[in-house]
Amino acid sequence: MQSLREKKGFICDMDGVIYHGNVLLNGVKQFVDWMYRNNKRFLFLTNNSQKSPKELQQKLARMGLQVPEHNFYTAALATASFLKSQGASTAYVIGDAGLTNALYEVGITLNDVDPEYVVIGETENYNFESIKKATALVNKGARLIGTNADITNPTEHGEVPACKALIAPVEYATNRKAYYVGKPNPLMMRAAMERFHQKGIHSPDVAMIGDRMDTDIVGAIESGLDAILVLSGVSTRATVEQFPYRPRLILNGVGDIAE
């Protein structure tokens, strides 16, 4: 197998790998500079559906990191693409602008009366009224979609509830299971890999770097990518032992690669 530094492409999770909240992690700038110097292709892939690629680009710029907008792909974009492929035209959405804008861009309009889908992602505006509405609509026949299966997200203030935790009350109240589009769903991974295929780079030449065993690492393994775990997010060496699969490498952070 190629050494990590010989890989032609890198798919990097963001929360817990690139930053915590609004704080850039140690070694990230050095890692990105190393990728540019060595002509590596890279994609920042996030399960967080709150922000658009443009907003993510601006967020990193505020932290002093310049990355083009086309180097980002989000669970919101993957969810919108999936719903479009299913012929959806209406949805009731619990989520922020990154999700609603992605849905608008593929022609899906918001509907809180008789939508085909209820779509839930991360949001700062989570409340009981919206959960009651989502529950009622799913009980009436709307199909339930989660942008991703993360239970928590790491921030500079510690762990906060993420999509799967937010959608759980609707699942329990309706006795319906959501379909989760983001990592480790192969839909998300294939969409990311398509960016590399266009440049003639294929799975054996790509490393997936993430901080979560249950999304990033299993998604990498099932997609034929080199699975690299960093300990800068939610995982520790102890949590790795709880899973029946292993990353190929465990690093303290992405800065280890540049070094």
Number of helical (H) and strand (E) elements in the chain, helices listed first: 10, 15
* pLDDT greater than 90 at residue 139: yes
Alpha carbon 238 to chain centroid, angstroms: 23
The mean pLDDT value for 83-95 works out to 97
Instruction: Tell me if 189 is assigned to some domain.
Output: no
How many separate domains does the chain show?
A: 2
Instruction: Tell me if 24 is assigned to some domain.
Output: yes
Active-site residue, 15 included: yes
Instruction: Tell me if 56 is assigned to some domain.
Output: no
Same domain, 99 and 137: yes
CA angle 160, 28, 19 (to 5 degrees): 15
Same domain, 83 and 175: yes
Q: Which of 156, 146, 157, 192 is nearest to 53 (CA)?
A: 192
Per-residue pLDDT tens over the stretch 152-171: 887 778 888 999 999 999 99
Its pTM stands at 0.91
Per-residue pLDDT tens over the stretch 74-85: 999 999 999 999
For residues 34 and 57, give the distance between their C-alpha atoms in angstroms, rounded to a whole number. 19
Same domain, 27 and 117: no
Same domain, 156 and 82: yes
Banded pLDDT at 1 (limits 50, 70, 90): low
Active-site residue, 150 included: no
Instruction: Tell me if 70 is assigned to some domain.
Output: no
SS3 of residue 88 by DSSP: coil
Same domain, 171 and 204: no
The mean pLDDT value for 88-100 works out to 97
- Residue 12 tokens read as 């990097």
Banded pLDDT at 49 (limits 50, 70, 90): very high
Residue 22's CATH number? 3.40.50.1000
Amino acid at 26: N
Instruction: Tell me if 244 is assigned to some domain.
Output: no
Instruction: Output the CA–CA distances (angstroms, integers) from residue 113 to 31, 140, 179, 207, in the order listed.
Output: 48, 10, 21, 44
User: How many other β-carbons are positioned within 10 Å of the β-carbon of residue 226?
Assistant: 24
Cis before 184? omega within 30: yes
Amino acid at 102: A
For residue 256, the enclosing domain spans 1-47+199-219+250-259
Strands 117-120 and 109-110: unpaired
For residues 16 and 204, give the distance between their C-alpha atoms in angstroms, rounded to a whole number. 24
Strands 23-24 and 19-20: antiparallel
User: How many other β-carbons are positioned within 10 Å of the β-carbon of residue 33?
Assistant: 12
Per-residue pLDDT tens over the stretch 241-259: 999 999 999 999 999 998 8
End-to-end CA distance of the chain: 20
Same domain, 126 and 207: no
Per-residue pLDDT tens over the stretch 121-135: 999 889 999 999 999
Instruction: Tell me if 226 is assigned to some domain.
Output: no
Instruction: Tell me if 233 is assigned to some domain.
Output: no
Banded pLDDT at 93 (limits 50, 70, 90): very high
Instruction: Tell me if 231 is assigned to some domain.
Output: no
Same domain, 3 and 41: yes
